[in-house]
């Protein structure tokens, strides 16, 4: 069974960037996915909306926070992850989120201008540095 999925929808709020204690960036996105269809018997149009929470990490989180705003139509590809916790009242809660591998603007109803970010060289850990000549 694959847990990868792709959704296209509108952002329900502005991305807000947060950092973990060890400095890793994360952003939580809310996406509304609308579906519209015509009932075959009544010929009436019907509509349904599903809401998804999407988590972005590291560079993707920083780029999403700088590029996206509420209302934008975006496409998200990622994996489904379920997490559980206990509420303040002692109730067991469960939530399924999309952990994003990639996020981009949908070009169906808009245009976009892309600016490539230069990749910085990862800092080498002192244990992997080449030994100095003795």
Range of the domain at 54: 4-36+44-112
pLDDT by residue, tens only, the chain of 134 residues: 568 999 999 999 999 999 999 999 999 999 999 999 999 999 899 999 999 999 999 999 999 999 999 999 999 999 999 989 999 999 999 999 999 999 999 888 888 888 787 766 554 444 444 444 44
Q: Where are the alpha helices (DSSP H) in 15-71?
A: 58-67
Is residue 55 one of the residues assigned to a domain? Answer: yes
4: its two tokens: 């990868």
Per the structure, the count of domains in the chain is 1
CATH value at residue 62: 2.40.50.140
């Amino acid at each position: 069974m694959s847990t990868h999925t792709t959704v296209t929808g509108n952002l329900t709020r502005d991305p807000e960037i947060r950092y973990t204690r060890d400095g890793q960036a994360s952003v939580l996105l809310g996406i509304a996915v609308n579906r519209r269809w015509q009932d075959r018997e009544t010929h009436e149009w019907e509509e349904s909306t599903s809401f998804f929470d999407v988590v972005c990490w590291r560079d993707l989180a920083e780029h999403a926070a700088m590029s996206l705003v509420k209302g934008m139509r975006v496409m998200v590809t990622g994996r489904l992850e379920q997490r559980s916790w206990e509420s303040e009242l002692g109730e067991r809660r469960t939530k399924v989120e999309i952990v994003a591998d990639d996020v981009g603007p949908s070009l169906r109803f808009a245009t976009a201008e892309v600016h490539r970010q230069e990749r910085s060289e990862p800092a080498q850990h002192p244990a992997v540095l080449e030994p100095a000549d003795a």
